[in-house]
Chain A
Amino acid sequence: MKYTIQQIFQSGKFITGFSIFMTILLIVIIYPLVIPDPPLKIIAQGTFFEPGIYVNVYDSINTPFYTLNLDEAADRRIANRLGDEDRQAIKEWLVGNGMPEAEIDPANTEQLLDQWFNNFDPTVRLPGMTNADRNYYIRLNNNIQGLLNTSGAVIAELDEETAVLTEKATVPQSAYVNVNDVPNVRVLPLGTDNFGRDVLTELVRATGVSLQIGLVAGSIATLIGLVLGLVSGYIGGFVDDTIMFVTNLFTVIPSFVLLILISFSISQEQRGATTIAVVIGFTSWVWTARAVRSQVISLRNRDHVNLSKLSGHSITHIIVRDILPYIASYVVMALILQISSGILAEAGLSILGLGPKTTDVPTLGLMMNWAMIYQAHILGKWWAYFPIIITIALIAFSMNLMNTGLDQVFNPALRD
């Protein structure tokens, strides 16, 4: 036993898979201890906030300012505030005004502004330009002028009674706050989702729930498969025929379809994560049953089993002592695969809208479902779907690697 474990841990594939899986598992366990927020709490007003560090503006104003004189600050500010659309509009105007297109580079802020100030004239009416267009350019010009303004921003207080604004302070352009001084800073490494929830917190919890679903579904499937396979393989005859008939039947009838049918028949309110896991488990035992049965058949007439039979041991004794130890490795491998396919099955179901009810806990499938319904993929909100796909793929990948590693240890023919 000890030797086997040693051998397993010498397989590069197994170690890689095991490390990936353990990392995921550790994150799932440790993350909630560090950040105990409820995963489904809506924190953002609005959808799909980008990943980043969110600094409380109100607190920043009430935090001591430091003056830093940095050369690039003004340019960067303008470059940032002048959006792509505005740049394109400037270019169109300049071209319309007769400047050769090749001379204009919308990405070069300094040159573009120079060209703009040298040429723009609000009274000029370019051919094909509507009144609305002209007003837009005048507004744009005012904005750009405002950008170049070097005076600070004024903080004023509104007097409730007189409705008079009283100047409280001025924030010069060279004022900085130290983020450490600001009491409210929220890091959203993966932004927020369509409901305004912190994606990372949600993802970690969802991974945990999905792993649990996989584990429950996998254990049920493996247990059913193991028992049916053992009984069918060891007893043989009519029992074997019957079990194999049912097994073959469920091999060809797609389990996915059964899943849809069953999940749909259970009303949404009753469809918890556990229910889904159990349903998945009950529809995916066939492969394990087949594999166990063929192993048992090859063991059934081995010398040590015959010896045990001759010694008058009971069937239970023979199965537990003389057969189970020999198929244990297959069962473990089957379990690993079942866990991973259980997670995938849940994801598929959830995308079809047949996943667990949405009010309790997130799952990887539900998160994917939400992202798809709110079209995160088409809107370019990568943080709402990509980490989920990667997580699912990594779980499946790590399990598959562990399985291949085990297979190579137990089936030397596959080695190399």
Chain B
Amino acid sequence: MKGYRNYFLNKLLWFLVTLVAAFILNFILPRLMPGDPVAAIVSRLAQGMSNTSGVQAIYEQYAEQFGTNKPMLEQFVLYMRNVFQGDFGFSFSQYPRTVADVISSSIWWTVGLQFPAIIIGWLIGNTLGALAAYRRGTFDKVLMPISIFVSNLPAFGMAVIMLVIFAVTLRWFPTSGGYGFDLIPNFSWKFIWSVFIHYQLPFWSIVLITIGGQAIGMRSMSIYELNADYVKYSRLLGIKDRKIVGYVFRNAMLPQITGLALSIGTMVGGALVAEIIFSYPGLGSTILTAVLGQDYPLISATTLIITLMVLLANFLLEIAYGFLDPRIKAAQAD
């Protein structure tokens, strides 16, 4: 258990380091860009809003909050304090809502959509990939080209195709939104059913995209493992093939977990764009509104939240990997 504790502490430390780096990047990148951010924002405000008292309020609040006249370090301390208080200021584009309010109403849609979809897609993809490697033959020959093509479709492309087929043409599912536009969120069956129906297309388009890439990865991992020396040796000691296949798939699965941890950021990025296609009320649409409304505080906070989500998912996967791969305990114990 000592080995695992070391591993866990190591990963925790790394998680904290990446967290700090994420804050710094989120703080510094917009400030490094050419041009005076204050002037840019003020000019955007002037264009964007007709409500003069709103403009004034935001401007004062902005100057106060970002402390743009103070030295960088002081600004950063201010920024961190605001972040930890969950205070991201007002949203430019959705004034008088606060950024925290906008994000808290969209984040759970994204979390509830993307993480189950990525996990389900990962599971299905790995199963298919393992089967393709073990069975070969027709199954492999049919599945692989499809997987390769599907995995090369951008996530938004898959989303558009699903939408056109199942929502526009067949009319089985609604085209957009997270629930019926005529409903107010509550715990009635009608609302839950509406959410469920709206969930299907975005969910399955992310699942399908994930399946393609994972199946290909798992197939080649499995083929690699099937050719490993221990497979031959186990066979020649009389161990049944079924048992050996068990070894192989467990061993091929482990790098797939690490792979998922490393690529989850990219997957989330693609899925956010897919959300936009379905006008799903998650963070993807929030980014789009923020971009269209030149809403700096909202963009900054949304990207930060997404980064934190990805880092957390990554950390959790690493922790899970530590439990699943016995070598971790062994290697760290020395």
Contacts and interface: CB of A to CB of B under 8 A. Distances in A.
Given A261-B29, A351-B276, A389-B157, A253 B35 contact: no
A348 B168 contact: no
B32 to A, nearest CB: 8
Given A414-B223, A414-B224, A256 B153 contact: no
Contacts of A249: 17-18, 21
B26 A254 contact: no
Contacts of B220: 414
Interface stretch (B181-189, B190-198, B229-237, B305-313): B305-313
Contacts of A264: 30, 291, 296, 299
Interface residues of A, number: 44
A400 B152 contact: yes
Contacts of A261: 25-26, 29-30, 299-300, 303
B164 A393 contact: no
A390 B164 CA distance: 14
Contact of A256 (B22, B156, B266): B266
B228 to A, nearest CB: 10
A249 B34 CA distance: 25
A266 interface: yes
Contacts of A385: 160
Interface string A394-405: 001100110010
Interface string A303-324: 0000000000000000000000
Given A265-B29, A266-B33, A253 B22 contact: yes
Secondary structure dominating the interface of B? helix
Interface stretch (A55-63, A119-127, A325-333, A376-384): A376-384
Given A351-B156, A353-B292, A392-B154, A258 B25 contact: yes
Interface in B234-286: 262, 265-266, 268-270, 272-273, 276-277, 284
A367 B152 CA distance: 19
Contact of B153 (A351, A380, A393): A393
Secondary structure dominating the interface of A? helix
Nearest to B314: A252
B152 A393 contact: yes
Given A261-B30, A266-B33, A389-B157, A348 B269 contact: yes
Nearest to B40: A267
A97 interface: no
A120 B245 CA distance: 75
Given A353-B292, A389-B161, 13 more contacts: A253-B25, A253-B311, A255-B269, A261-B26, A261-B300, A262-B29, A264-B291, A270-B34, A348-B154, A353-B291, A393-B157, A400-B151, A414-B223
26 contacts: A249-B21, A252-B265, A253-B21, A253-B22, A254-B266, A255-B265, A257-B307, A260-B299, A265-B30, A265-B33, A266-B34, A347-B156, A348-B270, A348-B273, A351-B156, A352-B288, A353-B288, A354-B291, A372-B276, A377-B160, A378-B168, A393-B152, A393-B154, A396-B153, A414-B220, A414-B224
State the 8 A-B residue pairs at the shortest beta-carbon distance, nearest first: A256-B269, A254-B265, A265-B33, A389-B157, A396-B152, A353-B291, A265-B30, A397-B152
